[in-house]
Amino acid sequence: MRRTSTHLLKGWRTGLPRLVLLLQVGNAVNFFGYGLIIAFEIIYLHQLRGIATATAGLVLATILGTATLVSPPTGALLDHFRPKPILIAGNLASALGYAGFAFVDGPWQAFACAAIGGAGIGAARVANQTLLITLVTPEQRAASFALGRVASNLGLGIGATVAGFIVASAHDLRSFQALYFFDAITYAAFALFVLAMVPNPRAAAAQANAGGRGFRAVVRDRLFMIVIAANIVLIIPGYALFSSILPPFVIAHTSVGAAGIGILKLSNTLFIVVAQLHATRVVKRMSRAKAFAALCAVWMIALLAVLPATLIHSEVGATVLLAGVAIMFAIGECMHAIVIGPLVADLAPEHLLGRYISVFGLMATAGLALGPAIGGEVLATSPNAVWWGGALVVAVIGAGFLLSGDRIPDHPLAASASNTVPATPRSTPDDARRQHAARAISTDDREESP
């Protein structure tokens, strides 16, 4: 028994610096505050502030839209300035925006608060990811991204649960105002923590004297753009269909009720919290191309496994099957978080890290936005096609990654470049990448696992 407990504890050891662990605790608190209000925003705006439901939906869309618009310029700033002040400013803006929601009386005020809060979220998200990357070694990036995934899921899950009890016990204006106030406090507290505890490392751009600059250089990196494009498509069936399309499909086409939907969400979130860090050690033994292919295979099985639930007439049986589906999605999410974030960081030249991270975040948001739109249209036309069609898309992407071989690097390109012939002054990231791939193929010295 003691040996098993020791093994489990080792699985939670990340080897990350203490400061990174503290930052991820701060992120968990931030997501806890966000979890307090995320499920009740439309209810609050409509029932207690008299704003039409459609308008309230547009208010929430403004938050996401503003965060998306702010991401690219934030990435550009991060390539010239240090991440610490940008992270602090973003969190303070979010605190101001969400505190303002407690006092809105009309739509224009709600839209103003949404724009301010969304801008803060977008800026802080890119700055936080960039800062964390600068605080860890390349070998620690997978563990850092995995821990961030645990922090966000844990915070959101606990926050939503606590908010549910608060709203159920006192469904009045003061209760909702308290939720928004506490959410704002978490943002402000995190900003103060960053101000007091986090060092202010120099921006990499100040140290870079060569190589392309600006978003044109990012777009010219063909491998990066191919990975980002594949990721957009992968997010639609892997994340968006599960979170947005599965609930209405389950209600309309299976014997599972609203309580069962909650069980599915809980199964997914709890599995990620428990298994994410352990999954890091498993995936580390695989090349990234094989890891991508494996997660695609898991998601393909999960998507196809939704269909038998329509044939099960027992609510308990259908719920158990779909809970297994939710866990399968969670397994793929664990692998995806470990692979895609570190890969983007490894592909990025140091002087363009902020821009690479901002484009990565922008495209991930695009996939989450496109998923409900595409999935909803297919669901209305042919419900079953959502799942077998999504499985087919995932299978094609997985096959593409499996065939990519050495074109998906398993180590930072900067480290690889030290073992290659120096590039000419006009060489691009793609040129160095092709040289590394050619050398790996010609010498046949690739390892089986990273």
pLDDT number for residue 14: 62
**pLDDT top residue among 15 and 67:** 67
Radius of gyration of the chain (CA): 22
Element containing residue 379 per DSSP (H, E): helix 353-381
pLDDT number for residue 244: 78
State the first-to-last Cα distance of the chain, in angstroms, to the nearest integer. 32
Q: How far apart are CA 399 and CA 294, in angstroms?
A: 10
To the nearest whole number, what is the mean pLDDT of the chain? 82
In order of 55, 103, 104, 181, 433, the CA distances from 64 in angstroms are 15, 21, 19, 20, 34
Q: How far apart are CA 5 and CA 180, in angstroms?
A: 39
Q: How far apart are CA 186 and CA 423, in angstroms?
A: 47
Q: What is the pLDDT of residues 265-291, one digit of tens each?
A: 888 888 988 888 888 888 888 888 889
pLDDT number for residue 363: 80
Q: What is the pLDDT of residues 112-122, one digit of tens each?
A: 999 999 999 99
Q: Please give the average per-residue pLDDT across 191-199, as a whole number.
A: 89
Q: How far apart are CA 325 and CA 310, in angstroms?
A: 13
Note whether 273 and 150 are within 8 A (CB): yes
pLDDT above 80 for 429: no
pLDDT number for residue 413: 55
> 3-class SS at 189?
helix
pLDDT above 60 for 427: no
With tokens 């080792």, the residue in question is 10
pLDDT band at 13 (very low <50, low <70, confident <90, very high): low
Q: What angle do CA 12, 14, 19 make, to 5 degrees?
A: 120
Note whether 131 and 144 are within 8 A (CB): no
The percentage of residues in the chain with a pLDDT greater than 90, rounded to a whole number, is 31
Q: How far apart are CA 201 and CA 224, in angstroms?
A: 26
Q: What is the pLDDT of residues 346-360, one digit of tens each?
A: 888 888 888 999 888
Q: How far apart are CA 109 and CA 62, in angstroms?
A: 12
Note whether 149 and 334 are within 8 A (CB): yes
Number of H helices, E strands in the chain: 18, 0
Residue 330 tokens read as: 């969670």
Q: How far apart are CA 188 and CA 194, in angstroms?
A: 10
pLDDT band at 302 (very low <50, low <70, confident <90, very high): very high
Q: How far apart are CA 71 and CA 121, in angstroms?
A: 9
In order of 266, 269, 401, 417, the CA distances from 387 in angstroms are 21, 21, 21, 42
pLDDT band at 325 (very low <50, low <70, confident <90, very high): very high
Residue 30 tokens read as: 């931030």
Structural domains of the chain sorted by starting position, each given as residue range(s) with its CATH number in brackets: 15-203 (1.20.1250.20), 211-450 (1.20.1250.20)
Q: How far apart are CA 339 and CA 321, in angstroms?
A: 28
* Strand extents, DSSP E, 94-192: none
Q: How far apart are CA 145 and CA 336, in angstroms?
A: 10
Q: What is the per-residue burial (b if ≥16 Cβ within 10 Å, else e) of 344-381?
A: bbbbbbbbbbbbbbbbbbbbbbbbbbebbebbeebbee
Note whether 136 and 85 are within 8 A (CB): no
| Dihedral (Cα; 28, 31, 32, 34), 10-degree rounding | 170
DSSP assignment string, 264-305: HHHHHHHHHHHHHHHHHHHHTTS-HHHHHHHHHHHHHHHHHH
Element containing residue 436 per DSSP (H, E): helix 429-443
